[in-house]
Amino acid sequence: MAKQLFVDPNEVRKSSEIEFSKIPVNRYNKTIEEELENFSREDLVRIYRDMVIIRQFEEMLLSIKTTGEYNGIRYNYPGPAHLSIGQEASAVGQAYLLDENDLIFGSHRSHGEILAKGLSVIEKMPAAELEEIMQDYLGGTILAAVQNIADSDTDAKELANLFLLYGTLAEIFARETGFQKGLGGSMHAFFTPFGVYPNNAIVGGSAAIALGAALYKKINRKPGAVIANIGDGSLGCGVVWEALNMASMGQFNELWEGEYQGGVPIIFNFFNNHYGMGGQTSGETMGFEALARVGAGINAEQMHAERVDGFNPLAVIDAMRNKLEILAEKRGPVLLDVVTYRFAGHSPSDSSTYRSKEEIEAWQKHDSIAAYKQDLIKAEIASEEELQQIWNSVEEQLTKIVKIAVDDNISPRMDLNSDPDAIAKYMFSNQRIEKMDDRPCETLLPKEENPRVEQIKRKIRTKVQEGQSAMRTFQLRDGIFEAIFDKFYVDPTLITYGEDVRDWGGAFAVYRGLTEALPYHRLFNAPISEAAIVSSGVGYAMAGGRVIAELMYCDFLGRAGDEVFNQLAKWQAMSAGQLKMPLVLRVSVGSKYGAQHSQDWTTLPAHIPGLKVVFPATPYDAKGLMNSALMGTDPVIFFESQRIYDMGERFRPEVPASYYEVPIGEPDVKREGKDVTILTVGATLYRALEAADTLAEKYGVSAEVIDARTLVPFNYDLVLKSVAKTGRILLTSDACERGSYLKEMAQTISELAFDDLDAPPVVVGARNWITPAHELEEFFFPQPEWMIDAIHEKIMPLKGHSSRQDLSRKSEVQRKRAGL
Amino acid sequence: MATPIIMPKQGQSVESCILTAWFKEAGEYVEAGDLLFAYETDKTAFDEEAAVSGILLERFFEEGDEVPVLTTIAVIGEAGEDTSEFNPHAGQPEAAKEQAPAPAAEPVQVAPAPAAVQLQGQARGQIKVSPRARRVAAELGVDYKHAAPTGAEGRVVSQDILALAAARPAEAAAPRLEQPEYREVEPSRQRKLIGERMAASASEVPRVTLNTSFDATEIMALRKKLKADQSETGLAGITLNDMVIYAVSRTLPGYPELNANLIDGKMRIFKNAHVGVAVDTERGLMVPTLFDANRKSLLESSREVKSMIQQCYDGNINPDYLQGGTFTVTNLGSLGIESFSPIINLPQTGILGVNTIEWKIKQKDGEFIHYPAMGLSLTFDHRAVDGAYGARFLQELTAQLEAFSLLLCV
């Protein structure tokens, strides 16, 4: 939605044709002699060396996986090894021009990319800088291990090469001296000081994460390009298409202003080895025939798509030079189809039943290393002996590295016996960082001139009085707005995007007023691409920014499943604390809209380790929790209930206009009582209060109502204290009862407060059905009467009460048996 | 809300009790804590207080009725409330009611709860009790089995325990009947039982009593030392009688025929010494048992005996403790008795009477010296034991007591 853009019926309805321009395929046709004007002899030989390093590194792993030894060193490596033997030229060619400001993101098959990019950066980086990185990284532990095999005359670059190979291998072998202390492993190794960002074991997972990093570069005007290294198989993944589409949004050129106008500096680099595991992408599982064709469908520039011969390192370098220029001219994104081939299987367990021996042999005849070697010899750039010498010295070096990487003294594993929290301490970074960068914040208006701010000024911030008009009341949506609005004037890296957040102000008017305050590059509408919205947020945060992403309905969480559960939740711990994830994901829980727009799925993220999950139910808590979320460095899933966006403050004397925080993880007593505790999550608080009123008036029972406010983390002390007093607890929320997070809480309370309980903790959730139409919701979502019935039947008989529901054991067993 | 009043279950072995007295009439207002009724088992008698306040709506049993434990005997509630659902006679033919008491596993009637649920809990004859109630019961030292459940699904909950505990110091408040010049008293079930047993013992058992005494210098010195102890361990509370029990428990295993029950002509010889301790109470003689006395330290025995004696005085001793003894110690020494012939507590085979301490003279190294002598009277069943056997027991026992500190070291 952008009023500036006129949808002209005359234009749209006019008859014409869409024209495509030709997509180049393997257009590079220079000889190595011709390239001597662009490359020094040393450079050309170094390209050979880098390919040899990758080849030998991967063959070493293959040998260990299949024979249990390498050059006489015996080792059992039980983990994954997705090798790229055969693809070396494509990795080295890509990395050749890149420096540490250029970020690459990879896949499960990215050992070669780590090494190629690392070697390229080492070549360009001054010695002092290399030394500093090696000394600082993980407190110098990797450097200390490498020094076991370095001589006193080893120079900084040679040492850095050893460091790179060793850090990668130790990571693959799950050693504490690996780049991620062994918490990443083969498929997730990376090294950010060299611009090598997370490799991703979820196929296509890097596409939108890389896009987020590219947005970070663009929005924060940081130098460098971003490359998403994904395979041809990933074109079967929705998030990859979402990323291609979102990276090509028209607004970058049409609506973003000034120096922010123009394309995103990203290359979607498909290493096209023709197989997604065993599925043949061209001809069997997909229809693009030539992958580069896909670019033509994405935008008018056809993503500057091109097929490149990935078996010729010089062809790849040539293409990269060309594409990096396009990015520098703000004409991205770019799609590259780099054709290549893996000689080894998908993994060592792969017997290649899906391809013929002839095919493998035919490609081996084209082996890039052998061919490039012949070219070097033929052009008299290097002699056969010289190149053999390189091969031998790489092998010698690698043997030394393997020896120390399998040595438990030099390369120990994390000792979870002596430090049981070794992994636990990386689950959250738990830092307080007010702003992720120190520079002025770009805004369009002084805060006080903002129309929303003026509107809020006229609202009543104090505790709601009987009969007070909702329009004049400071509402929950105002609390969320105020925290976010304030933060935009503090943290210059903060951006927010989602569906219909600009102009519309969000589907539920939380963001009204932000459009007036913020330029496009800080507040923009995303395509309807939940996966890419979350995933690009992950990349933006990983690269160093702070971001609020938004899912319009909780029900759309499924659309962003991998992105929330595998990406957002995990990268802090998988990086052993080297990456931070200051991303707040606003998720609005629907009501009135039936089965696919009214589900409370708070349980899903609460189950996944690595996410903080909050669900405020009052304006005071909403503002305070949002402030905490935006001050921290951890991913926070921020649930909001559409049922209570216009709720005023009923508990605190007022909602302060100034900054304050509500700590994440602390429940809050909303009403004191002594006979029974009711613990609520989200909007159900208000129904529980109604139940508490009835309990007091009709049955003389005094209920203590506690609002959980947060699901993860959660401080049980307050609840346990309450249960010690009352001896009874009912838990209630709008989530379907079966498997709801309340069950987890109830079980924990049973365990921690067993001897304080007069009755089992009882959960009242929504029915285990689809959410019906609004008119039938009272039969689906927990009602005050349900809570009273459950208390009467299962916790404490209420004098004179008779239940309307059948809560007998027999019926319960029957319901469970029926899967309801 | 109507609350059923049940006949408490006093001990695992008790299946029914005699309702001996009602202290409230039907229709009368009852305050929680008021004495409600009295009942007795064949071993002891109890008074029961009301756990809740309200009108005593109905009494289902009369004085003298034998009532299965856990049966509802009355209902307290608000005027006009229906009590029929609690009536244990409901559905029984009138004639049957007279003769056949309801089965022992008669369901505990509780506050309204779904019928299916109630039946499930009852079918197993279990008492449902919440973890909190268990904890509170342990803290207050009351038995949750006596509590009237008011929780959901017929569960005993903490407030039921609190109500039970509040009703406990019952005996002190027991009403004393005016003493007329004379009155004819139907002996209590307990008195009758004592009488029957004593008569049987005296008439059926060929019994022999041996009297002796020993030099109590050592145990008196130890007693003096213990009495001065300032700690809270209970050492100061150890009595001479405790020491005698201790020595008896150590001596008995060497004299198996005295650590035995003679039943229907067969000797039941026990591995451990379970020493009965005779206690004189208002209700008559009670003999709680110190089980496994030979395996308990002096301090442990002393504490346990003290506690049991108190419970006998209070009338709340678990009847399970009023049986199972293998030998009895009875002490009239504190009343100045010099020797007596105690009656054997059948089916045991022996009983030791502990007498007062007298000053005696003995010759030592050619000189006469004074020493405190404590008298002991051993009565035994001659069917089980010969005189010399009993004498040897006494000889060893007195030797142990004279060198008590050595015995403690064993």
For residue range A622-635, what is the model confidence (pLDDT) as tens digits? 999 999 999 999 99
Average pLDDT over residues B204-211: 86
Residues 6+ apart with CB under 8 A from B297: none
Output b/e per residue, A553-572; b: 16+ Cβ within 10 A. Answer: bbbbbebbebbbbbbbbbbb
Residues 6+ apart with CB under 8 A from A474: A456, A459, A460, A461, A619, A648, A649, A655
- Does residue A729 or residue B196 have the better pLDDT? A729
Q: Which of A729, A758, A814 should we substitute to test contact with B (largest number of B Cβ atoms within 10 Å)? A: A758
Nearest Cα to Cα of residue A275 among A231, A315, A245: A231
Instruction: State how far the Cα of A764 lies from the Cα of B334, in Å rounded to an integer.
Output: 66
CATH assignment at residue A534: 3.40.50.970
Nearest Cα to Cα of residue A269 among A237, A222, A316, A314: A316
The letter for the amino acid at B187 is P
* pLDDT tens digit sequence for A737-774: 999 999 999 999 999 999 999 999 999 999 999 999 99
Q: Does position B102 have pLDDT exceeding 90, yes or no?
A: no
Is residue A268 assigned to a domain?
yes
Query: Minimal Cα–Cα distance from B62 to chain A, Å?
Result: 29
Which residue does chain B place closest to A799, by CA atoms?
A: B1
Instruction: State how far the Cα of B229 lies from the Cα of A675, in Å rounded to an integer.
Output: 46
Nearest Cα to Cα of residue B277 among B314, B310, B236: B310
Which residue does chain A place closest to B130, by CA atoms?
A: A758
Give B153's contacts in chain A (Cβ within 8 Å).
794
- Does residue B94 or residue A763 have the better pLDDT? A763
Length of chain A: 820
Q: Does position A305 have pLDDT exceeding 70, yes or no?
A: yes
Nearest Cα to Cα of residue A524 among A543, A549, A541, A545: A549
Average pLDDT over residues A172-189: 96
Q: Does position A509 have pLDDT exceeding 70, yes or no?
A: yes
Instruction: State how far the Cα of B190 lies from the Cα of B46, in Å rounded to an integer.
Output: 11
Q: How big is the A-B interface in CB pairs under 8 Å?
A: 55
Nearest Cα to Cα of residue A572 among A580, A562, A564: A580
Closest Cβ–Cβ partner in B111, B116, B135 for A808 = B116
For residue B277, what is the enclosing H or E element? strand B275-277
Give B112's contacts in chain A (Cβ within 8 Å).
797
Instruction: State how far the Cα of A144 lies from the Cα of A164, in Å rounded to an integer.
Output: 13
Q: A758, B111: Cβ pair inside 8 Å? A: no
| Banded pLDDT at A389 (limits 50, 70, 90) | very high
User: Which of A20-29, A266-275, B316-325, B399-408 shows the lowest per-residue confidence on average (mean pLDDT)?
Assistant: B316-325
Average pLDDT over residues A362-371: 96
Q: A757, B153: Cβ pair inside 8 Å? A: no
Give A727's contacts in chain B (Cβ within 8 Å).
130, 132, 157-158
Which residue does chain A place closest to B113, by CA atoms?
A: A793
Q: Do B59 and B94 touch, CB atoms closer than 8 A?
A: no
Predicted local confidence at residue A416, as pLDDT: 96
B residues 103-122 closer than 8 Å to A (CB): 111-114, 116-117, 120
Domains and CATH numbers, chain B: 3-173 (2.40.50.100), 190-409 (3.30.559.10)
Q: Do A599 and A651 touch, CB atoms closer than 8 A?
A: no
- Distance, C-alpha A813 to centroid of its chain: 41
Instruction: Name the token pair of A74.
Output: 């015996």
Predicted local confidence at residue A40, as pLDDT: 96
Q: B114, A807: Cβ pair inside 8 Å? A: yes
Give B113's contacts in chain A (Cβ within 8 Å).
793, 797
Closest Cβ–Cβ partner in A759, A794, A797 for B112 = A797
**DSSP assigned state of A289:** S
Q: B1, A799: Cβ pair inside 8 Å? A: yes
Predicted local confidence at residue B85, as pLDDT: 81
Distance separating the N- and C-terminal Cα atoms of chain B: 61
Q: A755, B131: Cβ pair inside 8 Å? A: yes
Q: Which of B110, B120, B132 should we substitute to test contact with A (largest number of A Cβ atoms within 10 Å)? A: B132
- Does residue B229 or residue A364 have the better pLDDT? A364
Please report, for residues A207, A257, A770, B22, the alpha-carbon distance to residue B90 in angstroms, rounded to integers and kept in the order given: 77, 89, 47, 22
Residue A674 and residue A614 in one domain: no
Length of chain B: 410
Give the total number of structural domains in chain A.
Answer: 3
Q: Do A215 and A539 touch, CB atoms closer than 8 A?
A: yes
Residue A350 and residue A263 in one domain: yes
Place of tokens 């429940």: A667
Q: Do A722 and A674 touch, CB atoms closer than 8 A?
A: no
Provide Rg for chain A, Cα atoms: 30
DSSP helix/strand/coil, A301? coil
| Banded pLDDT at B179 (limits 50, 70, 90) | very low
**ipTM of the predicted structure?**
0.73
Is residue A467 assigned to a domain?
yes
What is the residue-wise DSSP string for A38-53?
Answer: TS-HHHHHHHHHHHHH
Chain A CB within 8 Å of residue B138 CB: no
Predicted local confidence at residue A657, as pLDDT: 97
- Does residue A643 or residue B102 have the better pLDDT? A643
Report the C-alpha dihedral over residues B38, B41, B45, B50, rounded to 10 degrees: -30
Which residue does chain B place closest to A791, by CA atoms?
A: B152
Query: Minimal Cα–Cα distance from A740 to chain B, Å?
Result: 24
Residue A589 and residue A680 in one domain: no
Output b/e per residue, B133-168; b: 16+ Cβ within 10 A. Answer: bbbbbeeeebbbbbbbbbbbbbbbbbbbbbbbbebe
pTM of structure: 0.73
Residue A215 and residue A283 in one domain: yes
Instruction: Name the token pair of A673.
Output: 């009582």
Is residue A442 assigned to a domain?
no
Instruction: Name the token pair of A33.
Output: 């002699």
Q: Do B261 and B271 touch, CB atoms closer than 8 A?
A: no
Q: B157, A759: Cβ pair inside 8 Å? A: yes
Residue A702 and residue A765 in one domain: yes
Domain range enclosing A286: 103-108+200-366
Q: B151, A758: Cβ pair inside 8 Å? A: yes
* pLDDT tens digit sequence for A12-51: 999 999 999 999 999 999 999 999 999 999 999 999 999 9
Q: What is the mean pLDDT of chain A?
A: 96
Residue A625 and residue A682 in one domain: no
Predicted local confidence at residue B169, as pLDDT: 54
Residue A490 and residue A577 in one domain: yes
* pLDDT tens digit sequence for A522-560: 999 999 999 999 999 999 999 999 999 999 999 999 999
Is residue A765 assigned to a domain?
yes
Q: Do A337 and A23 touch, CB atoms closer than 8 A?
A: no
Q: A758, B133: Cβ pair inside 8 Å? A: yes
Instruction: State how far the Cα of B349 lies from the Cα of B393, in Å rounded to an integer.
Output: 13
Closest Cβ–Cβ partner in B114, B130, B131 for A808 = B114
Give A758's contacts in chain B (Cβ within 8 Å).
130, 132-133, 151, 155, 157-159
Instruction: State how far the Cα of A252 lies from the Cα of A2, in Å rounded to an integer.
Output: 13
Give B4's contacts in chain A (Cβ within 8 Å).
none
* pLDDT tens digit sequence for A775-805: 999 999 999 999 999 999 999 999 999 999 9
Average pLDDT over residues B113-134: 58
Instruction: Name the token pair of A586.
Output: 């606003």
Predicted local confidence at residue B176, as pLDDT: 37
Query: Minimal Cα–Cα distance from A682 to chain B, Å?
Result: 28
Give A795's contacts in chain B (Cβ within 8 Å).
152
Predicted local confidence at residue B106, as pLDDT: 39
* pLDDT tens digit sequence for A27-36: 999 999 999 9
B residues 1-20 closer than 8 Å to A (CB): 1
Q: Does position A579 have pLDDT exceeding 80, yes or no?
A: yes
Provide Rg for chain B, Cα atoms: 25
CATH assignment at residue A689: 3.40.50.920
Predicted local confidence at residue B99, as pLDDT: 45
Q: Does position A566 have pLDDT exceeding 90, yes or no?
A: yes
Is residue A260 assigned to a domain?
yes
Predicted local confidence at residue A21, as pLDDT: 97
Give B129's contacts in chain A (Cβ within 8 Å).
none
Instruction: Name the token pair of A506.
Output: 């969000």
Give B111's contacts in chain A (Cβ within 8 Å).
797
Query: Minimal Cα–Cα distance from A695 to chain B, Å?
Result: 16
By CB atoms closer than 10 A (0-12, 13-18, 19+), residue A1 is exposed
Is residue A461 assigned to a domain?
yes
Is residue A498 assigned to a domain?
yes
Q: Among A366, A381, A411, where does a domain finish?
A: A366
Is residue A22 assigned to a domain?
no
Chain A CB within 8 Å of residue B162 CB: no
Chain A CB within 8 Å of residue B139 CB: no
The phi and psi torsions of A129 (rounded to 5 degrees) equal -65, -40
Query: Minimal Cα–Cα distance from A171 to chain B, Å?
Result: 50
Residue A560 and residue A633 in one domain: yes
A108: annotated active-site residue: no
Predicted local confidence at residue B187, as pLDDT: 64
Residue A680 and residue A598 in one domain: no
Which residue does chain A place closest to B156, by CA atoms?
A: A758
Q: A794, B131: Cβ pair inside 8 Å? A: no
Q: Which one of the listed residues A111, A597, A774, A801 is annotated catalytic? A: A597
Q: A759, B1: Cβ pair inside 8 Å? A: no
Q: Does position B119 have pLDDT exceeding 50, yes or no?
A: no
Instruction: State how far the Cα of A684 lies from the Cα of A517, in Å rounded to an integer.
Output: 34
Give A807's contacts in chain B (Cβ within 8 Å).
114
A670-675 CB contacts, 8 Å cutoff, 24+ apart = A670/A705, A670/A706, A670/A707, A671/A703, A671/A704, A671/A705, A672/A704, A673/A702, A673/A703, A673/A704, A673/A705, A673/A726, A674/A702, A674/A704, A674/A725, A674/A726, A675/A701, A675/A702, A675/A703, A675/A726, A675/A728, A675/A796
Q: Do A476 and A640 touch, CB atoms closer than 8 A?
A: yes
Q: Do A488 and A442 touch, CB atoms closer than 8 A?
A: no
Query: Minimal Cα–Cα distance from A735 to chain B, Å?
Result: 25
Which residue does chain B place closest to A794, by CA atoms?
A: B152
Question: Strand order in A266-272's β-sheet?
Answer: A196-199, A103-106, A226-231, A266-272, A334-339, A306-309
* pLDDT tens digit sequence for B241-287: 999 999 999 999 899 889 988 888 788 888 889 999 999 887 778 89
Instruction: State how far the Cα of A574 lies from the Cα of A171, in Å rounded to an integer.
Output: 11
Q: A794, B112: Cβ pair inside 8 Å? A: no
Instruction: Name the token pair of A695.
Output: 């309990």
Residue A685 and residue A580 in one domain: no
Average pLDDT over residues B207-221: 92
Instruction: State how far the Cα of A498 lies from the Cα of A528, in Å rounded to an integer.
Output: 8
Q: A757, B130: Cβ pair inside 8 Å? A: yes
Closest Cβ–Cβ partner in A754, A755, A797 for B113 = A797
Q: A755, B135: Cβ pair inside 8 Å? A: yes
Residue B180 CB coordination number (10 Å): 7
Which positions in chain A have a beta carbon within 8 angstroms of at least one beta carbon in chain B? 727, 754-759, 792-797, 799-800, 807-810
Task: Please tell me chain B's helix, strand, coil percentages from 3-state DSSP, rounded to the nearest 5.
Answer: 35, 25, 40
Query: Minimal Cα–Cα distance from A813 to chain B, Å?
Result: 12
* pLDDT tens digit sequence for A317-337: 999 999 999 999 999 999 999
Q: For a pLDDT cut of 70, what percent of chain A falls above it?
A: 100
Predicted local confidence at residue B92, as pLDDT: 52
- Distance, C-alpha A31 to centroid of its chain: 43
Q: For a pLDDT cut of 90, what percent of chain A falls above it?
A: 95
The phi and psi torsions of B242 (rounded to 5 degrees) equal -60, -40
Residue A704 and residue A810 in one domain: yes
Residue A347 and residue A496 in one domain: no
Query: Minimal Cα–Cα distance from A758 to chain B, Å?
Result: 5
Nearest Cα to Cα of residue A546 among A425, A436, A702: A436
Query: Minimal Cα–Cα distance from A688 to chain B, Å?
Result: 20
